[in-house]
Amino acid sequence: LLYIARYYQAILSVLFEAKRKDFVEMLVHHVVTVTVIYISYVYGWNRVGVVIMVIFDPADVPLHVAKLCKYIAEATKGRWWQFVADRLFEVFAIVFLLTRFVLFGYVCWSAHIEATEYFPKGLAEWTCVGLLYTLFALQIYWFFLILKVALKLLRGHAAEDPRSDDEDEAPKATKKNQ
C-alpha cells in the first residue's frame, strides 16, 4: 500500500513540476504502475507485484546519486563531482539494462506465456499483461534515451538529461538578450 501511495505522489509531481519532453510517458508510466499495483493487490498477486518492485527500484539509486553529484558539480564547479556523476550514470545504465530490460522482459514474457500454462486468463489477467507490456515499452523508450547520453559520455562530453527542455530554452533566451 505504501508503494501505491508513492506512485500516486509521483503522478501529482509529474503534473505540477516543469514539463519535460517525456511528460506523457512519465504520466502513463505512473498511472499504469498504480493500476498494476492495484490489480495485483486486489487479486492477491502479491508475488508478481513484489518482483516488479524489486526489479524496478535498484536502478533508481545510482541515478539519483548521479543527479546529486551533478548538482554538486554545477554548484561548486568541481570536475571531480562531474566525473563521479558520469561514472554513476554508467552504473545506472548497466543496472537499468539488466533489471528493466532483461529481468522485467522475462517477467512480462512469463506473465504472458508461462502463466497461461498454470491458470486461465480472464479480463483482469489480460489487463495486467497488457499493462506490463506498456511498462516494458516505456522502458525500451527510456533505454534509448539512456543510450543517447551514454554515447555523449563515450565522446567525452558530460552526461546531460535529454528529456530536459533547458538546452532548448537557453539559446532562445540568449538570442532575446542580444
Residue that has been written with the C-alpha cell 483482469 in this structure: 124
> Element (H or E) spanning 62, and its range?
helix 60-76
Query: pLDDT for 87-104, tens place per residue?
Result: 999 999 999 999 999 999
Quote the distance between the C-alpha of residue 31 and its chain's center: 13
What pLDDT is recorded for position 12? 78
CB 111 within 8 A of CB 132: yes
> Positive or negative, the Cα torsion across 7, 114, 138, 91?
positive
Query: pLDDT for 123-160, tens place per residue?
Result: 988 999 999 999 999 999 999 999 998 888 888 776 67
Helix (H/G/I), strand (E/B), else coil: 78? coil
63-69 long-range contacts (CB < 8 A, ≥24 apart) are 63/88, 63/89, 63/92, 63/96, 66/91, 66/92, 66/159
Q: Residue 166: is its pLDDT beyond 70?
A: no
What pLDDT is recorded for position 1? 66
CA distance 38 to 3: 10
CA distance 18 to 13: 9
Nearest to 125 by CA among 2, 40, 18, 1: 40
Nearest to 71 by CA among 80, 82, 60: 82
Q: Which of 14-28, 58-72, 106-120 has the lowest mean pLDDT?
A: 14-28
Q: Residue 4: is its pLDDT beyond 80?
A: no
What pLDDT is recorded for position 107? 93
Model-level pTM?
0.79
